[in-house]
Amino acid sequence: VIYQGRKKYPVNEICLHTAAVPTGWAAKRTVEQARDEIRDWHIDRGWRDIGYHYIIGSRGGLAHGRPNTQVGAGVRGHNRGVIHVCMPNKVAHHGVKDFDTYFTTEQRETLVALIQTLQLATDITKISGHNEYAAKECPGFYVQQDEELQSLLGKLSRYS
Ligand SMILES: [Zn+2]
């Protein structure tokens, strides 16, 4: 089990986000560059560190953000026990669509692998999106309607 913070909140949820950047922003940057810029935005807001635990770049690279053992800052009032994952979008946002509209196949492959890895480390019972908790489009699709992501959770939890 992964625990967050001094109060040791057990991690049981992965929440997805996008960075809502202009078309082409993600393709022009390595995932580490994207992570560092997002961290700068969050520190400029007065946060102590990047709010997300992972960034997945448009070429499928994975960069660590805030340590998993620390409570993140992804959803106001819903951060304890949640791992926040941010995928910078490939095209500018125009409403809530589906995964493939905003993200690459490489991002999906890395996200699936990351979810599987986290499930081995802690008991993930929910894969959610920011828009379930706030009147926002983020991450640009309804995570509960993404059959591949949700079936992944179902399949693995059946064995546990
Ligand atoms: Zn978000």
Q: What is the mean pLDDT of each run of 10 residues along the chain (160 residues)?
A: 97 96 96 98 96 98 98 97 98 95 98 96 96 97 95 61
pLDDT computed for residue 155 by the predictor: 57
pLDDT computed for residue 157 by the predictor: 45
pLDDT computed for residue 153 by the predictor: 85
pLDDT computed for residue 20 by the predictor: 87
Residues with Cβ within 8 Å of residue 45, at least 6 apart in sequence: none
Give the torsion through C-alpha atoms of 71, 29, 25, 142, to 10 deg.
Answer: -40
Q: How many A from CA of 50 to the centre of ligand 1? A: 13
* Cα torsion 67, 68, 70, 76: sign: positive
pLDDT computed for residue 50 by the predictor: 98
Q: How many A from CA of 159 to the centre of ligand 1? A: 31
Query: What residues have a C-beta under 5 A from ligand 1, the ion?
Result: 17, 130, 138
Q: How many A from CA of 134 to the centre of ligand 1? A: 9
pLDDT computed for residue 110 by the predictor: 98
Q: How many A from CA of 160 to the centre of ligand 1? A: 30
Residue 139: name the closest of 76, 87, 79 by CA. Answer: 87
> What is the distance between the alpha carbons of residues 103 and 92, in angstroms, rounded to a whole number?
11
pLDDT computed for residue 4 by the predictor: 98
